[in-house]
């Protein structure tokens, strides 16, 4: 079944969280299971919404980390979906 | 004190002495509070998700709150100027501009509240194309007609036409929907019917005077039911 926008965002954030809150961009794209073009779209959205941030690793490599707002989204995800289903939005 | 001012003050005093005005204020207050609680209660969900459906749903209740505020304001003007209804105000009276402006705002916001609620459940089925501007145009046209043609028959026809339009749209959409048919459509339909009765109560007060209290209680019941469902899901 095709994933919706919110489910894809949740999956991306969950991958980062499950990876000790820091992951390189290439494995993140691979694990997200979407095309790189679509990934770019979602990446720009969640970075502009401050769900994730770019940090530097010990050897200076670029890593993606989840923010407090991103964690909040994950906590509220089931509530959001429940609300959408209840009101058929 | 000029005679005119004295008459207005008398009108205002008799208005405040009328138990109906107190009932109106309590009724509007409950609806406004319910609507604002739904609007602010869903703020976080919208901020996190940026979901269009949640956005339209929230706007519907914000517009209900604004419409009910102006509804109350119209009732206040009716009492203040001691007149039977806004659409009968003589051009010579001080209330014409205020009355017609308020009526325009009330009809516009109330129509848009219904349209937003309809759009919140329909936007996905309309291929994500933005049709909100069409509703704004329709709401402005309805508002102008309400002011320019002060006839109870025209108001009744417009509102029944709107009801039929909403029922047809919802029916077609539900027919094409194969699964997950929400029971909420029934509540929305009731909300629409009672909202129309509320609009008619303002535009043609004599029409529903006998059933006013029943309409008020039923309307409050519907809003409380939606608020309960929202708070249960949102969890705060």
Residue B164 burial (CB < 10 Å; 0-12/13-18/19+)? exposed
* Cβ–Cβ under 8 Å, residues B14 and B79: yes
Residue B1 has pLDDT above 80, yes or no: no
**B229 vs A contacts (CB less than 8 Å):** 86-87
Average pLDDT over chain B reads: 77
Beta strand segments in A1-89, E: 52-56, 62-66
The shortest C-alpha distance from B120 to chain A (Å) reads 6
pLDDT, tens digit, 9 for 90 and up, residues A22-65: 999 999 999 999 999 999 999 999 999 999 999 998 888 999 99
Q: How many CB atoms lie within 10 A of CB A14?
A: 16
pLDDT-based confidence at residue B137 (cuts at 50, 70, 90): very high
Residues across chain B: 236
Q: Which of A39, A69, A35 is nearest to A52 (CA)?
A: A69
Inter-chain contact A88–B234, Cβ cutoff 8 Å?
A: no
- Cβ neighbours for B43, distance < 8 A, ≥ 6 positions apart: B58
Closest by Cβ to A89, choosing from B51, B180, B185? B51
Q: Test B121 with A79 for CB contact under 8 angstroms.
A: no
Q: Do residues B122 and B173 make contact, with C-beta atoms less than 8 angstroms apart?
A: yes
**Does residue B190 contact residue B197 with C-beta atoms inside 8 Å?**
no
Angle CA A81–B233–A84, to nearest 5: 30
Residue of B nearest to A10 (CA): B49
Q: Is B126 helix (H, G, I), strand (E, B) or coil?
A: coil
- Ordered domains of chain A (ranges, CATH): 5-86 (1.10.10.10)
The predicted model scores a pTM of 0.82
DSSP type of residue A23: B
């Amino acid at each position: 079944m095709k994933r919706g926008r919110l489910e894809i965002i949740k999956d991306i954030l969950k991958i980062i969280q499950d990876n000790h809150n820091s992951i390189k961009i290439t494995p993140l794209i691979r694990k997200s299971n979407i095309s790189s073009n679509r990934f770019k779209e979602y990446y720009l959205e969640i970075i502009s919404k401050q769900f994730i941030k770019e940090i530097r690793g010990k050897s200076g490599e670029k890593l993606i980390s989840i923010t407090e707002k991103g964690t909040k989204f994950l906590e509220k995800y089931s509530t959001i979906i429940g609300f959408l289903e209840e009101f058929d939005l | 004190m000029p005679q005119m001012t004295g008459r207005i003050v008398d009108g205002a005093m008799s208005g405040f002495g009328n138990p109906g005005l107190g009932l109106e204020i309590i009724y509007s207050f409950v609806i406004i509070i319910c609507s604002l609680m739904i609007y602010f209660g869903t703020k976080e969900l919208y901020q996190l998700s940026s979901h269009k459906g949640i956005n339209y749903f929230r706007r519907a209740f914000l517009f209900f709150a604004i419409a009910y505020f102006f509804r109350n304001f119209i009732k206040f003007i009716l009492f203040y100027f001691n007149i039977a209804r806004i659409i009968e105000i003589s051009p010579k009276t001080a209330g014409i501009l205020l009355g017609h402006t308020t009526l325009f705002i009330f009809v516009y916001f109330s129509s848009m509240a219904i349209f937003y609620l309809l759009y919140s459940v329909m936007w996905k089925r309309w291929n994500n194309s933005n049709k909100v501007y069409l509703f704004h145009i329709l709401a402005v046209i309805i508002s102008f007609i309400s002011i320019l043609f002060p006839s109870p028959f025209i108001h009744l026809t417009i509102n029944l036409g709107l009801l039929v339009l909403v029922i047809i749209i919802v029916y077609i959409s539900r027919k094409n929907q194969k699964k997950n048919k929400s029971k909420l459509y029934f509540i929305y339909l009731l909300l629409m019917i009672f909202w129309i009765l509320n609009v008619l109560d303002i535009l043609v007060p004599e029409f529903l005077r006998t059933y006013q209290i029943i309409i008020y209680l039923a309307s409050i019941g519907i809003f409380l039911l939606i608020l309960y469902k929202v708070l249960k899901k949102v969890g705060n």
